[in-house]
Structure 1
């Protein structure tokens, strides 16, 4: 019997008679997924003993499911296999002219590599720190003024800014940030609305330093405390103008991370602003190199490197991606697989730096670990698209490979990238105190409207490791109720001695 409360973790009750492990799991899963909130939903579930390889349970293992953010498991495994856990991005700073009396008689060029981390999670408290370091590098090179422009070279990646099949409704929000060869601050601004006296507009501020790269139209309103507050933001698809229509209580603070468009120009515009603040004057503007008549020749004697930013190693990038379910990190990784050692192909649509070529790289890696990729569709790296499809059986095979067959450094990087139940990331508030799986489960979540997923590893009371995949598609239940069902199944696995 299972007790399920809306928005609460379900708890499996002990069986009244001894049952085999298979019968026990079947009973728990059946009681859970056949509950009224999930009528009409399609479930795909598989549980495997990683010590023996025994398949303990399966339900629709060969059906195709939209995996939502479980797609990041495919991206992570492919990136770790193809690039290695120690891989680092390098974003390089060049000058293309002579320096005379402190004046650079030329341009400053930033050559991107697709790095998603510059100004990212590890630097959220100070996203412009790298730019200030570059100001120090310029001074060390004797440069106090730049006559030309600050040019951004994002050419490693294609110019398609969003994933295939993404919804236009998602465009203003951070989980749908634009993909690009140059990334700063996740290609977002951080906006704050603070309530004032009733009837007055809220006070709107944004960072970094209220950059004039964007315009903000403040149509917010402070409402009485007995009224409903809400958040409402709008940014037209091709503009950097935000309209804030939020309703907010006095002294309430609303915070939202919102996306920008034209990320290369955002990068160079912000870099120029930081250099000016650091006392380095700039005669030109921040521009995309594609809008300039200049084609950088990095091997030329007149072009010299004056600075570099190296990202954290891939193991840390993947950990951030999976702990926080960070979509931009996943999309940048997918396109990196289309640049660094891409698969050989003559197809016209599989161009360097494209999502399609990155998807081919992922499918190639999946094939090499024994997954039938004729039954896998990958169109993005994050799972935000509903065009991705994967079978529970294929996801299980990937989990088994990364646990039992991958080299130790890849295995550790993959396992550590999964948040721990009740402790970290997207699982911090699931599996609360008293839940059997708390601290014993490492798993990746996934959520879209009508689609939910949880896949990973859990240990039984005797320490036996299990791999599990739980997909739910086409549901009309509240997302919290579907998560409760997933958690109930995982808790049951963690309670059963094996």
Structure 2
């Protein structure tokens, strides 16, 4: 008698859970909205609530940034701040060594220049030498092509405004494209022959550094200093100590919030490259960051589920499985407040031609907070949100 009861109990414990009518209805809705789509929904206990085509590897596009953010939080920590170092020799030549700060935007350059002028004094600077050696000059991100589109901006040790320039051309006159950013000689030259708008400095590291130097010089002038000499590229002399170190006002956590909100490919790969640079030392390289990333993926059992080639999702050679990304979302759950989806939700979209993805967390009435992965073929981005609403309302 007892043996039969024990056998029955074991059978009940090991038997697969039966699909409830509610879950069956949700699955039918998902299948009706996107019969060929990849959809996976899991609760906090790891139970798969919805799984459609979940074993198919997919191109993640910008949901790759979720993996980059997780790796960055694990490797660098949320309080990490990027640094840019300034040196002054006896002839008042200013040397600037870039540290890969992804957020050297105009709003950051204003307090930077004020701190720098406070440290160097108001006497004229003889010239500026830009040291971008923390990033090799030949570094290239797979998927980034040579166009002036902002999402193709070149990654750099020392770049300003996401390595892009905004300006307005009015006849032969070139005006600032944004009130907070002065027009520099390089910006004027570029936009005399180009359309108004925002362009990337996509392939020329020297041009990228030149623009950074010109904008830093302009902000030094606005802060009460001046630069009399030329702007050149070189190295900080051995033994020269920094006179001023600018620590980015945003912590890594704050940068990641902006990354999730704006999905900037340049920021994503600056952060991704810093993962390797901090762990293995400079100069940075994709190989170093991929080594650190793959070690972490292997340690968490994700080596075969997450194949990452770069940190933004611009490369189509990134390949994830739904269960692999759902596992990353489980690890990243303590940092879910870093998500600031454009729809107000805790999610990240991904978009490439023929690829529409969506992943993150959503709150439900019966199953609490669930994590989800959606990948669709085609160019209709609205369906992924219709799927998410159908899932959230049904659970």
Contact 1:48/1:55, CA 8 A, preserved across alignment: yes
Contact 1:330/1:381, CA 8 A, preserved across alignment: yes
What SS does the corresponding residue of 2:102 show, helix, strand or coil?
Answer: coil
Whole-Å Cα distance in 2 between the matches of residues 279 and 314 of structure 1?
Answer: 30
Out of 87, 101, 113, the position equivalent to 1:115 is 101
- From the two aligned structures, give the one with the greater helix fraction: 2
Aligned residue-pair number: 369
What SS does the corresponding residue of 2:185 show, helix, strand or coil?
Answer: coil
1:496 and 2:385 equivalent?
no
Contact 1:459/1:494, CA 8 A, preserved across alignment: yes
TM alignment of 1:124-163, pairs within 5 A: 127-139=109-121, 144-147=123-126, 149-163=127-141
1:165 and 2:159 equivalent?
no
TM alignment of 1:42-441, pairs within 5 A: 43-50=37-44, 52-97=45-90, 105-119=91-105, 123=107, 127-139=109-121, 144-147=123-126, 149-168=127-146, 171-192=147-168, 204-207=174-177, 208-216=181-189, 240=190, 243-244=193-194, 256-260=197-201, 261=204, 262-276=207-221, 278=223, 280-289=225-234, 295-297=236-238, 300=239, 303-311=240-248, 312-342=250-280, 352-371=283-302, 373-403=303-333, 411-412=334-335, 415-420=336-341, 427-428=342-343, 441=345
**Deviation (angstroms), 1:106:** 4.3
Counterpart in 2 of 1:236? none
Whole-Å Cα distance in 2 between the matches of residues 69 and 160 of structure 1?
Answer: 24
**Deviation (angstroms), 1:209:** 2.3
- Describe the shift of the 1:337–1:468 C-alpha distance in structure 2 as closer, same or farther (beyond 3 A): same
Whole-Å Cα distance in 2 between the matches of residues 173 and 399 of structure 1?
Answer: 31
Measured against aligned partners, the alpha-carbon deviations of 1:423-481 in whole angstroms (never above 9, x if no partner) come to: xxxx24xxxxxxxxxx5x310011111111100000112461111000123x2xxx3xx
Contact 1:72/1:322, CA 8 A, preserved across alignment: yes
**Deviation (angstroms), 1:202:** 9.5
What SS does the corresponding residue of 2:310 show, helix, strand or coil?
Answer: coil
- Describe the shift of the 1:375–1:49 C-alpha distance in structure 2 as closer, same or farther (beyond 3 A): closer
In the alignment, structure 2 segments of 5+ residues that lack a partner are 1-18
Q: TM-score, normalised by structure 1?
A: 0.68
- Describe the shift of the 1:202–1:273 C-alpha distance in structure 2 as closer, same or farther (beyond 3 A): closer
- Describe the shift of the 1:76–1:280 C-alpha distance in structure 2 as closer, same or farther (beyond 3 A): same
Measured against aligned partners, the alpha-carbon deviations of 1:246-304 in whole angstroms (never above 9, x if no partner) come to: xxxxxxxxx73211243222211222333345554434311221xxxx5522xx2xx23
Whole-Å Cα distance in 2 between the matches of residues 177 and 166 of structure 1?
Answer: 8
**Deviation (angstroms), 1:127:** 4.8
- Describe the shift of the 1:33–1:323 C-alpha distance in structure 2 as closer, same or farther (beyond 3 A): same
Counterpart in 2 of 1:33? 34
RMSD, matched Cα = 2.6
Measured against aligned partners, the alpha-carbon deviations of 1:306-362 in whole angstroms (never above 9, x if no partner) come to: 22211111110111111111111111011101210139xxxxxxx841123212222
In the alignment, structure 1 segments of 5+ residues that lack a partner are 1-17, 35-41, 98-104, 195-200, 217-239, 246-254, 344-350, 404-410, 421-426, 429-438
Whole-Å Cα distance in 2 between the matches of residues 402 and 45 of structure 1?
Answer: 19
Measured against aligned partners, the alpha-carbon deviations of 1:393-428 in whole angstroms (never above 9, x if no partner) come to: 11011112222xxxxxxx23xx122124xxxxxx24
Measured against aligned partners, the alpha-carbon deviations of 1:128-186 in whole angstroms (never above 9, x if no partner) come to: 442243223321xxx50233x31122222222354113233xx2122221101112111
- Describe the shift of the 1:175–1:128 C-alpha distance in structure 2 as closer, same or farther (beyond 3 A): farther
